[in-house]
Structure 1
């Protein structure tokens, strides 16, 4: 085992960062209530007893599960005599994505449901995304005492778990800056060049750009390693199409293919990497085990952080201040509204830790981000 797992929690939000032995970020996870990051608290591997909503010949059965959209059971997996309204036991194989429901496969039920009217009913809990990050770490640090107690009951006996934070913050400035960079469209490559990462509704396009400089095969190899890292950190899934720089021949394509396979070898998520085409295009298919980072923290899958994301960032900055400090947060109206609405419980929890209420001050509408300063007055 090696590395550390940092877990930071506020009401409605959990963030986890896995660091290797030298402190570099290896994986990152954000979970939020109601953000779609759980799609009705659904997980890959869940076993549900549910009902068939409708059958569509040669396509499959649409199954009502715990999510907002019906899941799809492939036609080839539909048992003979399956009808609309019938109960069926299925296992989740892919979470919902891009407006489509989850995908499921038929399984034998471990136990019959006691109350058919309670359908859909989950019989077995599938994988927990947090467990993918902490599978082999030797230490877990958490800034929430209640969560830490739960983690200690779940972790292996040889994993150390201890409380750290919120002052100083568990996620230091360097780590926060690196996390902010995971929403950047452009990623510089060592030795020159860059990646341009563009998620769209049906796939993610990644372009390897030389940056106007002469570039050889080594640029593609450096890009392959960084692509594997960015895909994992951003939780990109589904079809990923990479446009590499032009290659000289079969030998260079084979070397690139081998480098990509090695770079993805430690990824716990099932990933298929297809051989490069002569044009330089490479297709990568990665199982959807959790929503992509931009789907959770950005509005409408855009690159700009949502008001909720900005609100949580403001609360974390406030927590870094000493207790008993009356702080004024100067925020755009949408962010202030989030702190008074969906993030009210998180704001109240921070106020309780500070021992004083947070004063929300509306910034001018054109102000794009929350203020980086928190002018505070000590309570009289």
Structure 2
């Protein structure tokens, strides 16, 4: 199926949209007035320990201090030994951290000391050890051969996770990416020398790069860019670590803005509506609250509840990604009387969210027929990103 990456590098919003078969399937947005910091590596300073939360608040140069949970402190305690946050950190201590979720509303960013530098085929873990293959790669001789090849391809030092797309990739591309990721960490280490907190050691990837890293392992059939500066930035990044994508990049020079071709702009605006239509007359009603997000499935005139629910599953997975919904999600599907149909529905939903770059977990159906799931928070939801001012919620 044809897949395109559209990059809008003009204006207040810098956007990267992925179209699969002409349908908007993924969306990445940066605001120039509220830059995203997810993925940035920073030198921060502990300003307060919260024993009740088993967490520390860390100054990283933003309006609100960021949260570092005890589980994200490194080095981690040995197995079988539990340490309190006050035993691992002290007030005033400088720590090297990475932003794993951007600040939003009245909540600061979320940090980790478990640094990871992702690429299309590999993830570099500077504090890790060895080469580890993705669980999505099937066991057998091919897995064993790939593991051996990767051990020869990656630079010594640190740990490496081999993503599933590496199995079909050109070994030269994988080796090139490994060198680039290793160089990124060496640059962060160099910036650390003589730095005083708070200090940014490694800048976060821009929206087009995030799209290429998370979704570009299988490549894009075309990459169209509006804005000469964005074009140069993306070409430079591809030249260093994704030359196979560089030849597919073109500059959009038509009179009609790039995101108005194929009505991508309209598709984005529709994500602000509480109602998302299904193709056979049904719909989803999506209500966001401070505590959780509720999705109600309406069947419309379609008579088969299972068919409607299965159609809704795909759209729910798509809407969660496009709206960047995080936290607790509760879905009220159309009631199914048969146990095997309910099981089929849960399996379908689990499969639909399995490729979501944000960790998404389906926990099953409650006695009231509500499906409970969670999705990792990775920053502000789309509605907040498109708001003219930072939300006060």
TM-score, normalisation: structure 2: 0.68
Matched residue SS, 1:4: strand
Task: State how 1:270-281 maps to structure 2 within 5 Å.
Answer: 270-281=359-370
Deviation (angstroms), 1:207: 1.0
Pick aligned residue for 1:82 from 82, 89, 98:
89
Q: What's the counterpart of residue 366 of structure 1?
A: none
Q: Is the 8 A contact 2:10 2:226 kept in 1?
A: no
Q: Map 1:306-321 to 2 at 5 A.
A: none
What are the superposed Cα offsets for residues 62-96 of structure 1, whole Å, 9 maximum, x if unpaired? 11113321111224544726222221222223222
CA deviation map 1:247-273 (0-9, x unaligned)? 214322211111112212332222112
CA RMSD of aligned residues (A): 2.7
The total of aligned residue pairs comes to: 295
Q: Distance in 1 between matches of 2:272 and 2:56?
A: 36
Q: Find the counterpart in structure 2 of residue 162 from structure 1.
A: 250
Asked if structure 1 preserves the Cα contact closer than 8 Å seen for 2:299 and 2:305, the reply is no
- Contact 1:129–1:290 at 8 Å: present in 2 too? no
| Contact residue 16 and residue 30 of structure 1 kept, 8 A | yes
**Per the alignment, do residues 54 and 23 of structure 1 end up closer, same or farther by CA in structure 2, a change over 3 Å counting?**
same
The match for 1:95 among 96, 102, 119 is 102
* Aligned residue in 2 for 1:119: 197
CA contact (8 A) 2:329 2:373 kept: yes
Q: Residue 130 of structure 1 aligns with which residue?
A: 208
Q: Which residue of 1 aligns with 2:81?
A: none
Measure the CA separation in 1 of the matches of 2:44 and 2:284: 43
**8 Å contact from structure 2 (residues 282, 300) kept in 1:** yes
Alignment of structure 1 residues 222-237 onto 2, 5 Å? 222-237=311-326
Alpha-carbon contact 1:6-1:170 (below 8 Å) kept: yes
CA–CA distance in 1 between the matches of 2:97 and 2:352?
Answer: 33
| Residue in structure 1 matching 2:223, options 140, 150, 163 | 140
Secondary structure of the residue aligned to 1:224 is: helix
SS in structure 2 of the partner of residue 80 of structure 1: helix
Counterpart of 1:220 in structure 2 is 309
Q: What CA distance in whole angstroms lies between the structure 1 residues aligned with 2:221 and 2:354? A: 21
**Conserved 8 A contact 2:7-2:208:** no
Regions of 4+ moved over 6 Å: none
Counterparts of 1:180 and 1:12, CA distance in 2: 16
Q: Report the CA distance between 1:237 and its aligned residue.
A: 1.7
1:215/1:192 CA distance change after superposition, 3 Å = farther
Residue number in structure 2 paired with 1:106: 113
> What SS class does the counterpart of residue 167 from structure 1 fall into?
coil
Q: Where in structure 2 are there 5+ consecutive unaligned residues? A: 74-84, 115-126, 128-184
Q: 1:189 aligns with which of 278, 301, 304?
A: 278
| Higher alpha-carbon Rg | 1
Matched, 1:57 2:51: yes
